[in-house]
Amino acid sequence: MKLKDIGEFGFIGRISRDIRPGSGVVAGIGDDAAVLASDKKGFYSLFTCDMYVEKVHFTKKDVTPYQLGWKAMAGNISDIAAMGGLPRHAVVSIGLTGDEDVRYCDEIYRGMRAAAKPFKVDIVGGDTVTSPEGIVISVAMTGVVEEKMCVYRSGARQGEAVLVTGSLGGSLLKKHCVFAPRVREARFIAGTGRVSAMMDVTDGLVADLEKICAASGVGAMLFEELIPVSPDARRMKGEKTPLESALSDGEDFELLCVVPREAVAGLLKAFNKKFSVPLTLIGGTTDAKGIRVYRTDGTVDEPRYKGYDHFKSGR
């Protein structure tokens, strides 16, 4: 049996089953970041990593080295934010062919530092190696979160509200390489103490909401007229409709969260007063399985956007 037969998530399930977290591990594989006991009373430590491979995640034509560095760093910051935490330190493993211009490599690091600086993330070390077939970057990041503010994917209950920050779809590379990780927004949401589940949208709204649903044992419904479709998604001329883009495009790096219904009005009011990026109610959790999309024409879809599965298929 080949890896591509079981797919990325089949393989992750396999290694998650096998690796038994030891003492001090509050939550291991399966969330945006691992949650670990901390020596600081009332706090957890967070630990995450992401890998970006040339010709899989990016091409040199479509992305500047600055954007590449930004994205590699900001993607990890977004993972820490999605737990309700603050990012702390990063180490960077980078594989380069050696044929790159030195200025190209400098630009990668300039992008990483620019993404890190607003959140006071220090790049404290790394490993620099040859990768003859193309650039590979892996950023690992630690973070910290108050125990009371740590939000998992698994806490959603049925009958709660589903909300998302910003707008979705049309993840043009240029936009998404210099996206702003929603750290302050996530801290605000987590700080209310009224959020049941949260993650960042990296594989697409439906695919990521399915992860929250699977971890929490609930289903969800989304309402077409509520979904904040991005201007980019409306502008794009491709096979997908703007709604399909908003439901299925990856790398939005917006926050997707589930909140008890009675907390929604207060949260929306407080959030939208404080931030320029909107927080929008888009649906709710149910006791059914899977995700249903209620269209404005009265029909109901059960979209099959499974997100990007490395090894298996496209979206």
Least distance (Å) between residue 236 CB and a copy of itself:
24
| Torsion sign across C-alpha atoms 235, 240, 244, 248 | negative
Q: Are 249 and 204 in contact (CB under 8 A)?
A: yes
**Nearer residue to a copy of itself within complex by CB, 99 or 297:** 99
- Applying CB under 8 A, does 270 fall inside the site for a copy of itself? no
Residue 64 neighbours by CB distance under 10 Å: 17
Among 60-68, 90-98, 160-168, 293-301, the segment contacting a copy of itself (CB under 8 A) = 90-98
CA 294 vs. chain centroid, Å, equals 24
- Applying CB under 8 A, does 315 fall inside the site for a copy of itself? no
- Applying CB under 8 A, does 2 fall inside the site for a copy of itself? yes
Out of 101, 225, 239, 297, the residue judged to bind a copy of itself by CB under 8 A: 101
Task: Identify residues 29-48 at the interface with a copy of itself (CB under 8 A).
Answer: 29, 33-34, 36, 38-40, 43, 47-48
Least distance (Å) between residue 282 CB and a copy of itself:
27
Least distance (Å) between residue 183 CB and a copy of itself:
16
Length of the chain: 315
Residue 214 neighbours by CB distance under 10 Å: 16
- Applying CB under 8 A, does 148 fall inside the site for a copy of itself? no
Among 98-106, 206-214, 225-233, 282-290, the segment contacting a copy of itself (CB under 8 A) = 98-106
Q: What DSSP state is assigned to residue 118?
A: G
Task: Identify residues 128-147 at the interface with a copy of itself (CB under 8 A).
Answer: 128-134, 136, 138, 140, 142
Least distance (Å) between residue 51 CB and a copy of itself:
4
Could you please report the per-residue DSSP string of 266-285? HHHHHHHHH-SS-EEEEEEE
State the binding string over 211-230 for a copy of itself (x if CB under 8 A, else -).
Answer: --------------------
The Cα–Cα gap between 75 and 72 comes to: 6
Among 9-17, 211-219, 262-270, 297-305, the segment contacting a copy of itself (CB under 8 A) = 9-17
- Applying CB under 8 A, does 281 fall inside the site for a copy of itself? no
Least distance (Å) between residue 267 CB and a copy of itself:
29
| Torsion sign across C-alpha atoms 249, 254, 260, 264 | negative
**CA 267-31-57 angle, 5° bins:** 105
Out of 62, 118, 124, 261, the residue judged to bind a copy of itself by CB under 8 A: 124
- Applying CB under 8 A, does 238 fall inside the site for a copy of itself? no
**Residue 209 identity (one-letter amino acid):** L
The Cα–Cα gap between 89 and 102 comes to: 25
**Nearer residue to a copy of itself within complex by CB, 46 or 291:** 46
**Nearer residue to a copy of itself within complex by CB, 120 or 273:** 120
State the binding string over 50-89 for a copy of itself (x if CB under 8 A, else -).
Answer: xxxx-xxx------------------------------xx
Q: Are 302 and 292 in contact (CB under 8 A)?
A: yes
**Nearer residue to a copy of itself within complex by CB, 40 or 174:** 40
Q: Give the residue from 160, 186, 177, 185 showing the smallest Cα distance to 284.
A: 160
Q: Are 149 and 84 in contact (CB under 8 A)?
A: yes
What does the block give as tokens for 207? Answer: 């695919």
Beta bridge partners of 120: none
